[in-house]
Amino acid sequence: MRRLLCAAASLLAAAGLPAQDPFAARLAERARQTREIVYFLQQPETHAFDLYHDYTESREGTDKYVNVVRRGSTVTRPEARVLETGAALPADILLGDAIRRANIDIGEEVLPDSEAVVIRFPPVQAGETLRLRISETYTDPGSYRLEGEELVFDRNFGRPRNAVVLPAGWYLTASSIPATVSQLPDGRIRLDFVNPRPDSIDVLIKAKRRPR
Amino acid sequence: MIRVLGLAVTLAAAGCASQAPPASREPAPAPTPAPPAAVIREARYDDYTRYELLAPDSAQFAIQFETVATKAGDAYYFNPIRKGSEASGERVFDMTSGRPLPFEVVTGAVAKDSGLSDADLDTSYIRVALPRPVPEGGQIRLFIEKTYRDPKSYFREGDLIVFARSLGVRRNAVVLPQGFELVACNVPSQVVSEADGRIRVSFMNTAPDAVSLVVKARRLNP
């Protein structure tokens, strides 16, 4: 929740809204938010999924992006780049005390197993913005698993726009949240979720292997 | 009451399929164009349509339509038959009693003369004789079954089947034929599996206009 509030506060700041307004988080303009996450599910036995997260940083002076890893998830291979230039940005995984030593505010108490990905970039100058893409691989048996012969992806999405790409060789059998569905050139199925409301959605996706 | 419960259970379990015997029907009318989007009325969320795609090369789909008559005093309910679609297999039921209702297919002119003041004269209608007048502030719930053949709405595209149709009803579901997987849907939809394994796509349209739905599917064992 604290992380959510921090994110909301950031958005409000970016939108120029007063952060002291107790209703500010709920009244932030959802359509103006710039965040989008695309998940690429690996084979379910691995419990792993790649993702990329795009967002626009517009707060003057901001020089880093901190992604706090959800409990139950582990992160590997963080990468980041500026979408307008292609320039790569340094990405570090910090654990527990390292977060505290780096004086990183993760919006919650830093515990020994706290994990955060920190992306550093030159401070945003007045009147400028930065469009970032952060790529990571998550492993989370709680969110992504095989149940019998069925793939299950069960995850809460807070961003307005999210997409999930099924692994190769799987077809969609269920989606709890309305999504548009499309097929990538390589045959994988993609679901796109747009949530215009200022809340999160509990996405539950099921899929089965295509017969060979 | 048993019949009512029977219908309710059947609707819930089989996605509105009804086992009731068919009512009398007349020959299918000539195809007529779709009603304009402006026909959509506000607050018609009671209506729900389920489309079951039949054999891919048949261009046919079965329609199960739940609707309500709400105009106090009305003795008839009119369900337009879309232009370009050949209708067959019509049946109508009173959802309260589960009993079949008498109906006939009439021209737009007849519909207008018998109470549908804004009837499109180029459209045919299923005119349902209501089992009782609609009470003031009340409603009569109806269940209408029919099968449409419409090659422009349901067709093949390479190794895909396509269901592309403008839908004015607010709540809709499309059930793929057995053995097909969903590969595209342009309207945000839930996806669920029927008990028999068929894939159902379901959505609510909250926008003021009709939705131009496109669903594509591919056979799992080509």
- Paired with B99 in beta bridges are none
Question: B188–A179: do the CB atoms touch at under 8 Å?
Answer: yes
Cα–Cα nearest to A17, from A160, A26, A124:
A26
* Closest CA of chain A from B201, distance in Å: 9
Measured CA to CA, the distance from residue A83 to residue A79 in angstroms comes to 12
Query: Which B residues in the span 139-198 are in contact with A, Cβ-Cβ below 8 Å?
Result: 181-193
Measured CA to CA, the distance from residue B170 to residue B66 in angstroms comes to 11
Q: Which is it for strands A189-194 and A161-165: parallel, antiparallel or unpaired?
A: antiparallel
Q: Which of A16-30, B110-124, B157-171, B184-198 has the lowest mean pLDDT?
A: A16-30
Average model confidence (pLDDT) for chain B? 84
| B222 reaches A (C-beta below 8 A) | no
pLDDT value of residue A19: 52
Q: Which of A41-55, A160-174, B42-56, B179-193 has the lowest mean pLDDT?
A: B42-56
Q: How confident is the model at residue B222 (pLDDT cuts 50, 70, 90)?
A: low
Q: What is the CB neighbour count within 10 angstroms for residue A14? A: 19
Average model confidence (pLDDT) for chain A? 90
Cα A30 to Cα A24, A196, A199, A200, B160, distances in angstroms: 12, 6, 10, 12, 36
Chain A residues with CB under 8 Å of a chain B CB are: 171-183, 189, 192-194, 206, 210-211
Measured CA to CA, the distance from residue B173 to residue B201 in angstroms comes to 5
Three-state SS sequence of A2-42:
HHHHHHHHHHHHHHCCCCCCCCHHHHCCHHHCCCEEEEEEC
Question: A175–B190: do the CB atoms touch at under 8 Å?
Answer: yes
Cα–Cα nearest to B18, from B116, B165, B143:
B143
Burial B108-119 (b: 16+ CB within 10 A, else e): bebbbeeebeeb
Provide φ and ψ at B126, rounded to 5°.
-85, 115
Kindly report, residue by residue over A114-142, the tens digit of the pLDDT. 999 999 999 999 999 999 999 999 999 99
